[in-house]
A = this chain, B = another copy of it.
Amino acid sequence: MIRKNGRVTTSATDDLWGEAGPGSRRILEAALTAFAARGYHGASTRDIAAAAGMSPSAVYAHHRTKEDLLYAISLAGHRSALAAVERALAEEVTAVGRLRALVHDYTAWHARHHQLARVVQYELGALAPDHRDEILRLRRRTEEVVLDEIAAGIASGAFRTEDPGGVALAVLSLGVDVSRWYAPGGHHTPVSLGRRYATLVLAMLGTDHRSATAG
């Protein structure tokens, strides 16, 4: 349920699209579905327009090019992922709790938003160079958050590893790869996956996973 200008929202993907109007939003959602299903090059602007219930040319009143659609989706997606990660950290104080929340929410984000994540993670190459650079800067910030968190846990003595960079790489890879294969309705859920991967990552870091859940 979306209401605008006096706004009430309940869906999980809300305010992803920022200040975009309802027409623009329908197009972005149609483009997202199409890009996720068939890839950027495999989805035509006619597909997208039809899925949005419009004529092909109506798309261009809202978005200058097809690449602009991908750019808007990529930007919104990366911002959403980064926000999810930062929100996870904001609620925890211990090294174990923070990292567990980080891995859990990053993983769960990729499952819950598997369509968005797929586009965001696998269609980077279809972006114009300057747009790609901007997206890559956002991604690098997410990577730094993960690495910093692991480093902090090592500094405090909570984690023990000879390869913090490898663990960070693994955290990011495990999360991203979820969007490759995840499908709702299977025997995984965003939360179950988040929990399992968080436990595995804590094991990589030499913590006993039966210890501290919060506090």
* Interfacial residues, chain A to chain B (CB-CB below 8 A): 37-42, 121-122, 125-126, 161-163, 166-167, 169-170, 173-174, 176-178, 180, 196-197, 199-200, 203-204, 206
Contact = CB atoms under 8 A, between A and B. Distances in A.
A209 to B, nearest CB: 8
A173 B163 contact: no
What copy number does this chain have within its complex?
A: 2
A182 to B, nearest CB: 11
A125 B199 CA distance: 31
A125 B39 contact: yes
Contacts of A38: 41, 125
A199 to B, nearest CB: 7
Nearest to A178: B173
18 contacts: A38-B125, A39-B42, A40-B41, A41-B41, A41-B42, A122-B122, A161-B203, A162-B199, A163-B199, A166-B196, A170-B170, A170-B174, A170-B197, A173-B173, A173-B180, A177-B177, A200-B204, A203-B203
Given A39-B125, A203-B206, A204-B200, A176 B180 contact: yes
Contacts of A40: 39, 41-42
Given A173-B178, A178-B173, A180-B122, A200 B167 contact: yes
Contacts of A197: 166, 170
Contacts of A126: 39, 42
A3 to B, nearest CB: 36
A121 B41 contact: no
Contacts of A167: 200
Q: Which of A38, A40, A122, A204 has the most CB of B within 10 A?
A: A204
Contact of A174 (B122, B125, B161, B173): B173
Nearest to A176: B177
Nearest to A188: B169
